[in-house]
Amino acid sequence: RVTLVESGGGSVQAGGSLRLSCTTSGDLYANWRITWFRQAPGKEREGVATIYVRGDAARYADSVEGRFTISHGDAQNLVYLQMDSLKPEDTGMYYCATGKVVTGPNLLNHTYYALWGQGTQVTVSS
């Protein structure tokens, strides 16, 4: 059984940084993606960044390109989301997800992901 647990959220001022962690357990296939999503109150869930379970091929939403970095930790079951130059519009609940092979234009589409963590809250004040 695959599980995902997010951590590292918190409250920061605009311009600050946070690093989120996604810790997985269970059997994940190397060609699955680990993807970070976020959701603000009243808004649709938005894909932020994605990486292979094994490997790289990182992709980012335009809204975070150049400010966020997704990477693997030293442990194989750990994926980070480094968030720099944070803006108030980055506020939301952040989730990591996985669960199947996702390609091309669907990489950041939440409907293509089957397994989700419980989320960690990020609040950026102006």
Contact between residue 6 and residue 117 where contact means Cβ atoms under 8 Å apart = yes
Q: Is the pLDDT of residue 70 over 90?
A: yes
pLDDT digits 0-9 by tens, 82-110: 999 999 999 999 999 998 888 888 999 99
pLDDT digits 0-9 by tens, 54-65: 888 999 999 999
The predicted pLDDT at position 56 comes to 85
**Alpha-carbon dihedral sign for residues 105, 109, 112, 116:** positive
The predicted pLDDT at position 99 comes to 80
In angstroms, rounded to a whole number, what is the distance separating the alpha carbons of residues 80 and 100? 20
In the structure, what pLDDT confidence band is assigned to residue 22 with cuts at 50, 70 and 90? very high
